[in-house]
Amino acid sequence: MPNTIWKPHPRQEEALRRIEYEVLYGGARGGGKTDAGLVWLTDHINNSRYRALVIRKNADDLSDWVDRAGRMWSLLGAKIAYRPAVITFPSGATIRTGHLKDDQAYTKYQGHEYQRILIEELNQIPEEKRYLQLLASCRSTVAGINAQVFCTTNPGGVGHGWVKRRFVDAVPPNTVFIDPTSGRSRIYIPARVDDNPTLVTADPGYVRFLDALKDSDVELWKAWRLGDWNTFAGQYFKEFRTDKHVIRSYLPNKNNVLIGGMDWGRTAPFAFVLTEIEQVSVEGTKFHRAKTFFEVYGTDKTPREWAEVIKEKLKFFGLSPIDISHIQGDPAMFTKGNDNSISIADQFKREEILLRPASNDRVGGWENLHNWLSIAIDDKPYWQITENCGNLIRTLPELVHDENKVEDVDTDGEDHAPDAVRYLFKALKWLDSKVGGYAPRDDRKRPRVANMIDDKQLGINLDRFATINKPTRRVGGIVTR
C-alpha cells in the first residue's frame, strides 16, 4: 500500500511482513491492531481473483471497522455495499464481512475460497472449534497469493483461554510454531500502546488513562497496558491460583462424605465430578474442606455409556456408586421428552447412578464457589482440585462475566465442568473458619451437609455421615436403607 496513505510503525511492519499461515497481532490496548489488519488486506487488491473475508463474533460489531475501511481505502477506489458489507476494488478484487456468532455460522463460508481471512477481536470467539471450522475456507488456488489468517485481540473475553493456549503458550512471542499435526505455522506478535507513536502523540490522555488503571484495577492494568495474558479483563474467578487450588491426585477416604455433580451434554460436553468433604481442625477451630478428585468429561455418549465410564473409573479409586452420598444433577435432566419418553436422570438411574435435581440458582451458585475458593485460616483454600481434573482446572479460571448480567458467567464459554461443581456445592453449607468455625454442640455453628443431616442429631461426628446416609442394599435397581 503506498506510503502516502499510511506508513507502518516498526511493530506493525513486523506483523505485516510475516509469512506464517496464522498471525496473531496485539495484546495490549492501543497497539495499532485495526490499522495493521486493514493494510494487510490490501496486498493483492490489484488481482481480480483476490477474495478476502473479515470476521467478528457478531456482524454488528464490524460497523466501526467498515467505516475505517471506507476512509482508508477511498483513495484506492474501494466501493462498499452493505448488509453485510462487501468491499470491491476496481480490479474486481473483493473483501466480504461476516460473523461467527454461533456453532453453524461457519457454514456460510463452507466451500468458499478466501486467500486471506482477517479476524477482529479473536478472543470474542468462544470456542477454538469455530475458529478451526472457519480456517477450512482459508486456502488459495491463485498464483502468487499464499493463504493466510491475520487475527487481532487483547487478553480477556470468552475465548481468552483457547487463544492463549494456541498462540501465546505454545512458544515465546515472536517465535514461529509449527503445528505437528497440520504442519502449518503460526506466530504471536505482541504490541503495546508504546508501539503506536501516532496514538501516543495524538491522544496522550489515553496513555495516562491506561497508566492510571494500576491504582484502581491492577489486573485490568496488566491486561490493557502490558498485554499480560495471565490476567484478563472480565475474569469471573480471579481468586483461582493453580499453585494454591490444585493438588496432587490421591485416593479418597470412602468413609468421608462423597458428593457428585453432573452437567448433561450430548454434542456439548458432558461433565461429572466427585468431591470429598473432610472435617479439618486447626487450633480448635473446625471447618469443612472440599477436594474435587474425580472427573469424567466428553461428548457423544448415551447415559448408559457414560454410566459405564463412571463406574469403571470409580473402580480405579476403590469406589462404587453406592459409596457416593448423592449426586446433584442438571435440573433439565429430569424433564421427560415431548413424547413422554424416559428422562435422562431415569436413564442414569437404570444404571445405578442416582441423581437429585440440583438448584439452578446460577448467581447464588457462582457466589458460593467464590466462598469455597477463598483461603481458610490454615492458609489453604476451602476447596482444592486434584491435577487429574484437567477440564475443570482449565475452564474454571477462563469463565468471564456475562456482559448483560454481570453477576452471572457468559454461557458462551466452556462452563460444563464448572456447572457440575456449581450444582454440587449448592447442596453444601459453607462455613468461614475465620469467623469462629464450628463448635460441635452449638447448633448455630455446626457444619452441615444440606439434605443429609437429621436436625435432631446435634454434634454428630462428620466421619459417620457417609455410613449414616449410605444406602444399605439395592433391590431391582431401587435403593433401600
Residue-wise pLDDT tens digits, 223-270: 899 999 987 778 899 899 999 999 999 999 989 999 999 999 988 899
CA 428 to chain centre: 25
| Residues 165-224 pLDDT 10s | 999 998 999 999 999 999 999 999 999 999 999 999 999 999 999 999 999 888 889 889
The range of the structural domain enclosing residue 177 comes to: 10-224
Cα separation, 296 vs 31, in Å, equals: 42
Cis bond before residue 303 (omega within 30° of 0) = no
pLDDT at 404 over 50: yes
| Residues 293-348 pLDDT 10s | 999 999 999 999 999 999 999 999 999 999 999 999 999 999 987 666 899 999 99
Cα separation, 124 vs 121, in Å, equals: 6
What SS3 class is residue 64? helix
Whether 183 and 306 share a structural domain: no
Whether 252 and 218 share a structural domain: no
DSSP 369-387: HHHHHSB-TTSSBSEEEET
Per the document, the length of the chain is 481
* CA contacts within 13 A on the Cβ side of 437: 18
When pLDDT is cut at 50, 70 and 90, the band that residue 63 belongs to is: confident
Domain-located, residue 394? yes
Domain-terminating residue out of 169, 196, 224: 224
Whether 305 and 404 share a structural domain: yes
Cα angle 367, 371, 376 (rounded to 5 degrees) comes to 175
What the block records as the C-alpha cell of 142 is 491463485
Whether 300 and 342 share a structural domain: yes
| Beta pairing partners, 26 | 153, 190
Domain-terminating residue out of 161, 192, 224: 224
> What does the pLDDT read at residue 4?
53
| Residues 68-78 pLDDT 10s | 999 999 889 99
Domain-located, residue 407? yes
Domain-terminating residue out of 189, 224, 259: 224
> What does the pLDDT read at residue 234?
82
> What does the pLDDT read at residue 203?
94
Cα angle 48, 50, 53 (rounded to 5 degrees) comes to 140
When pLDDT is cut at 50, 70 and 90, the band that residue 470 belongs to is: very low
Q: Answer for the pair 402, 409: CB distance below 8 angstroms, yes or no.
A: yes
> What does the pLDDT read at residue 105?
77
Whether 118 and 206 share a structural domain: yes
Residue among 271, 262, 260 nearest 317 (CA): 260
Q: Answer for the pair 434, 312: CB distance below 8 angstroms, yes or no.
A: no
Domain-located, residue 3? no
When pLDDT is cut at 50, 70 and 90, the band that residue 2 belongs to is: very low
Domain-located, residue 233? no
Cα separation, 404 vs 101, in Å, equals: 16
At a CB cut-off of 8 Å and minimum separation 6, what does 376 contact? 280, 282, 287, 289, 382, 433, 434
CATH number at residue 132: 3.40.50.300
Residue among 284, 240, 171 nearest 394 (CA): 240
Domain-located, residue 318? yes
E runs forming strands in 28-170: 51-56, 79-81, 86-88, 94-99, 116-119, 148-153
Q: Answer for the pair 195, 125: CB distance below 8 angstroms, yes or no.
A: no
Whether 327 and 367 share a structural domain: yes
* CA contacts within 13 A on the Cβ side of 420: 30
Q: Answer for the pair 213, 224: CB distance below 8 angstroms, yes or no.
A: yes
> What does the pLDDT read at residue 230?
85
Whether 217 and 81 share a structural domain: yes
Domain-located, residue 263? yes
Is 448 exposed, middle or buried (CB count within 10 Å of its CB: 0-12, 13-18, 19+)? middle
Residue among 268, 384, 263 nearest 333 (CA): 263
Whether 175 and 253 share a structural domain: no
Domain-located, residue 253? yes
> What does the pLDDT read at residue 332?
93
Whether 378 and 435 share a structural domain: yes
Is 338 exposed, middle or buried (CB count within 10 Å of its CB: 0-12, 13-18, 19+)? exposed
CA 316 to chain centre: 29
pLDDT at 103 over 50: yes
Domain-located, residue 465? yes
Domain count, the chain: 2
Q: Answer for the pair 157, 123: CB distance below 8 angstroms, yes or no.
A: yes
For the chain, the straight-line distance linking the first and the last C-alpha, in angstroms and rounded, comes to: 79
Q: What is the mean pLDDT of the chain?
A: 86
When pLDDT is cut at 50, 70 and 90, the band that residue 436 belongs to is: low
Cα separation, 448 vs 454, in Å, equals: 10
Q: What one-character DSSP code corresponds to residue 462?
A: G
Cα separation, 149 vs 138, in Å, equals: 7
pLDDT at 44 over 80: yes
Cα separation, 25 vs 261, in Å, equals: 40
Whether 208 and 282 share a structural domain: no
Whether 184 and 261 share a structural domain: no
Whether 97 and 212 share a structural domain: yes
pLDDT at 284 over 90: no
What the block records as the C-alpha cell of 429 is 453449607
CATH number at residue 409: 3.30.420.280
Is 161 exposed, middle or buried (CB count within 10 Å of its CB: 0-12, 13-18, 19+)? buried
Cβ–Cβ contacts within 10 Å for residue 204, how many? 10
> What does the pLDDT read at residue 457?
33
